[in-house]
Amino acid sequence: MLSPSTGSVKTLPDSYVWPEYYEVYSGSDQPSIPVIDLMDPNATELIIQACETWGIFQLIGHGIPRKLVEDVESEVHSLFALPADQKLKTLRTSGGASSGYGNPPSQALLPRKLWYEGFTIMGSPVDQARVLWPHDYQGFRNTMNGYQKQVKALVEQLIRIIFKFLSISKEEVNWFDDPSNTCNAALQLNSHPPCPDPTRAVGLAPHTDSSLFTILHSWIEGLQIFKDGVGWITVQPIPDALTMNLGDFLHILSNGRFVSVLHRAAVNQKYHRISVAYIRSPPTNFIVSPLLSKTFADSGQVPKYHPVTLKECRGLKAKHFQAALSFVKT
Ligand X SMILES: O=C(O)CCC(=O)C(=O)O
By CB under 6 A, tell whether 148 contacts ligand X. Answer: no
Residues 223-282 that bind ligand X (CB under 6 A): 223, 263, 265, 275, 277
The residue number with the shortest CB distance to Fe ion is 209
Name the binder of 281 from ligand X, Fe ion, none, CB < 5-8 A by kind.
Answer: none
Smallest separation, CB 174 to Fe ion (Å) = 27
Contact between 216 and ligand X by CB under 6 A: the answer reads yes
Maximal CA-CA distance, the chain: 60
Helix then strand then coil, in percent of the chain rounded to 5, is 35, 20, 45
- Smallest separation (angstroms) from ligand X to the CB of 204: 5
Q: Among residues 158, 154, 152, 167, which one has the least CA distance to residue 46?
A: 158
59 binds ligand X (CB under 6 A): no
In the complex, least distance from residue 277 CB atom to Fe ion, rounded to whole angstroms: 6
Q: Report CA torsion sign: 199, 202, 203, 207.
A: positive
Q: Which stretch binds ligand X (CB under 6 A): 66-74, 214-222, 286-294, 318-326?
A: 214-222
Residue from 122, 75, 65 nearest 242 by CA: 65
Q: Is 261 exposed, middle or buried (0-12, 13-18, 19+ CB in 10 A)?
A: buried
Which residue of 71, 75, 117, 209 would you call a contact of ligand X, by CB under 6 A?
209
Q: Does position 71 bind Fe ion by CB under 5 A?
A: no
Tell me which residues in 271-310 interact with ligand X (CB under 6 A).
Answer: 275, 277
Look at residue 250 and give the partner it binds from ligand X, Fe ion, none, a contact being a CB closer than 5 to 8 Å depending on partner kind: none
Task: Indicate whether 248 belongs to the interface with Fe ion (CB under 5 A).
Answer: no
Residue 187, judged by CB atoms within 10 A of its CB (0-12, 13-18, 19+), counts as buried
DSSP bridge pairs for 122: 186
Question: Any contact of residue 209 with Fe ion (CB under 5 A)?
Answer: yes
Which lies closer to ligand X via its Cβ, residue 277 or residue 325? 277
The number of helices, as runs of H, and strands, as runs of E, in the chain is 7, 12
Report CA torsion sign: 311, 315, 316, 318. Answer: positive
In the list ligand X, Fe ion, none, the entry touching 223 (Cβ below 5 to 8 angstroms by class) is ligand X
Rounded Cα–Cα distance for residues 273 and 122 (Å)? 22
Residue whose Cβ sits closest to ligand X: 275
Catalytic site residue from 66, 273, 280, 314 = 273
Q: Which of 299, 213, 302 is nearest to 249 (CA)?
A: 213
- 66 as an active site residue: the answer is no
Annotated catalytic residues are 273
Contacting residues toward ligand X, per CB under 6 A: 188, 190, 204, 209, 216, 218, 222-223, 263, 265, 275, 277
